[in-house]
Amino acid sequence: MKDIKHFLRQKSLRPTKQRVIIANYLFDGVNKHVTAETLSNELLKMKAGISLATIYNTLHDFYEKGLLKKLMINSERIYFDTNTEHHHHFYSKKDQKLIDINVDMKVSGLPKPPKNKKINKIEVLVHLDN
């Protein structure tokens, strides 16, 4: 991500100091799964004094512009994924860690959806033991 300011402007997001810092971290080329808390910790490490409220606001702003995906992994917190392509995950409960599955998978034997409902997308979560 070369010109973050330009990138944010393209998405109708004002490139404020805080958003630039967060976008630089999130979109550095390595896909990430973050929660408000883990992101806050990373930002603290890099001595960026960004308030929690702004972190929440920014994650949601980015989500609304399609820059992040929301994951429904567990009920304790909201995970955001910088990989917005359709993909699946390994999940280690023990490590509280997600790993992208970037290969194509096929699900067979799917029953018809209920009346008047259409399938939007299929998400596979592969739970790991250890």
User: What is the footprint of DNA within residues 78-97 (CB under 7 A)?
Assistant: 78
Q: Is 72 in the site for a second copy (CB under 8 A)?
A: yes
User: What is the footprint of DNA within residues 39-68 (CB under 7 A)?
Assistant: 49-54, 56-58, 60-61
Q: Is 17 in the site for DNA (CB under 7 A)?
A: yes
Provide the 10 A C-beta neighbour count for residue 37: 11
74: Cα separation from own chain's centroid: 14
Q: Taking Cα atoms as reference points, which of 29, 27, 55, 20 lies closest to residue 41? A: 55
Q: How far is CA 10 from CA 3, 60, 65, 85, in A?
A: 11, 17, 10, 19
Q: Which stretch binds a second copy (CB under 8 A): 16-24, 39-47, 49-57, 103-111?
A: 103-111
- Say if CB 24 and CB 47 are below 8 A apart: no
101 binds, among DNA, a second copy, none (CB under 5 to 8 A by kind): a second copy
57 vs 84, beta carbon nearer DNA: 57
Q: Which residues bind a second copy (CB under 8 A)?
A: 70, 72-79, 90, 92, 99, 101, 103-111, 113-114, 116-130
